Amino acid sequence: MQVSVETTSSIERRMTIGVPAEQVESEVQKRLQQTAKTVKINGFRPGKVPFSVVKKRYGQGVRQEVLGEVMRNAYVEALAEEKINPAGYPKFETKSVEEGQDLEFVAVFDIYPEFEPADMSGISIERETAEIKKTDIKNMIDVLRRQHGTPKSVKRKAKKKDILTIDFKGTIDGEEFAGGSAVDSKVTLGSGQMIPGFEDGLIGAKPEDELTLDVTFPEDYQNKELAGKAAQFAVTVKANEELVLPEMDQEFFSKYGIEDADEEKFTAEILKNMERELAQAINTKVKQQIVDQLVEINEFDVPGAMVDQEIDRMREDAVRQFGGGQMKASDLPAELFKDQAEKRVRTGLIFSAIVKANELSVDADKVNDKIAQIASTYQDPEQVIEYYNGNQEQMAQVQSVVLEDQVVELVLEKAKVVDKKVSYEDAVKPAAQTVA
């Protein structure tokens, strides 16, 4: 076998591979002889079909099958011979496949980029800190109770937390606009589900009231055609409901998996969950800042095959998330996922480079702590811990997460970190996602 490798970019390689004709033809002969023993053709007894007839009918298909296998095997052998580690699958280009001639083809593939991680001392992180106050706990319990509340129709003036059923029609400069109208829409006053000023304008309204709201769309409104524009909404109030909240008793506590509890124990469990949520939200925002800045300061070419594979994974995830139905992953345009997929691949390569450069290895104690943390959210933590310890695939996923956490810790040691005190509510709000 003859092999030559051409460097066409920092990460792309073109490998030309030549395979002797005898190797291909002998395998084709062997396959056709096996076919002749079992094939059924009218006019011939099984196993008695002349070889020339078998070759004429099946030769081309068998040859294509053999060529595909020979190219794949030769490619793998050539990689080992040249000591090359490809990133993703290759594309094959055939140059000579004529019968009786040496097979020659080209495998085009990417390799993993080689780069030294950039200096991390210039990274600047704003880390939020927050204290969970009694009012935060009270508000959280109120949210949980409202999730199981019973709507009760009322005729009085609307106040915050009431649920109004309304019809509305929006206009800008007297003209209706797309998405500005609705019938039998339910709005919880004070929830922030509508644009600023809309819900406030409904406080004090009663069923059968008709009113006009003058509001302005926020400058950062998602629909750029409406952002910053003044609008009028003609609103008809059709019904007002208040929620009758469940009692703080065992029946209610059980809905959240808390058994044999009184109000004090329930509140303690809610606080524990809030503390966990707060820590996770803060860490997530810190990690996002680290990822964004690492991507910005580390420049290298990303293997296209790895991006394509990540796009395929994201397509599959999207189909699963939205229930699938008749939709296939391949129906979703690759462009929808390309930027995010490239950022994910780039981030993974940067983290791997940092692990290698700093000789990091998975901390077993931190793995055990992570599993214990996961298990603490279940009713039987010991059973969950046992499951992870006995499942190699799940354990590998936890180890991967822990290694990422260790990279984040390393970056924080080198970066400039400024702590910023915020409210609990602001701390648990997700940060705006960015795509490189």
Residues 98 and 230 in one domain: no
Question: What pLDDT is stored for residue 31 in this prediction?
Answer: 83
Tell me which amino acid residue 277 is.
E
- State whether residue 18 is helix, strand or coil: strand
- Total count of domains within the chain: 3
From 61, 84, 110, give the residue that closes a domain.
Answer: 110
Residues 219 and 88 in one domain: no
Looking at the chain, the number of H-run helices and the number of E-run strands are 11, 11
Residues 268 and 395 in one domain: yes
Q: What is the mean pLDDT of each run of 10 residues along the chain (436 residues)?
A: 93 95 89 79 76 80 88 95 92 86 93 95 96 96 95 95 96 94 95 94 96 95 93 97 95 90 94 95 96 96 94 91 76 92 96 96 95 89 94 95 96 96 94 54
Residues 303 and 420 in one domain: yes
In a domain, 143, yes or no: no
How far the first Cα of the chain sits from its last, in Å, is 43
CATH (domain of 293): 1.10.3120.10
Residues 226 and 311 in one domain: no
Residues 406 and 330 in one domain: yes
Question: What pLDDT is stored for residue 436 in this prediction?
Answer: 39
Segments forming the whole domain that contains residue 25: 2-110
pTM summary value:
0.79
The C-alpha torsion from 305 through 308 and 313 to 315, rounded to 10°, is -170
From CA 352, how far away is CA 174, in angstroms rounded? 57
User: 382: number of CA atoms within 13 Å, CB side?
Assistant: 0
In a domain, 124, yes or no: no
Residues 309 and 344 in one domain: yes
From 80, 110, 140, give the residue that closes a domain.
Answer: 110
From 91, 110, 129, give the residue that closes a domain.
Answer: 110
Specify the residue for token string 């319990």: 141
Question: What pLDDT is stored for residue 325 in this prediction?
Answer: 66
In a domain, 133, yes or no: no
CATH (domain of 31): 3.30.70.1050
Residues 232 and 296 in one domain: no
Residues 94 and 184 in one domain: no
In a domain, 116, yes or no: no
In a domain, 199, yes or no: yes
From CA 199, how far away is CA 237, in angstroms rounded? 12
Question: What pLDDT is stored for residue 324 in this prediction?
Answer: 62
Residues 288 and 170 in one domain: no
Question: What pLDDT is stored for residue 100 in this prediction?
Answer: 82
Residues 306 and 380 in one domain: yes
Residues 339 and 389 in one domain: yes
Specify the residue for token string 């029946």: 251
In a domain, 122, yes or no: no
From CA 267, how far away is CA 259, in angstroms rounded? 13
Instruction: Count CB atoms within 10 A of the CB of residue 342.
Output: 19
CATH (domain of 160): 3.10.50.40
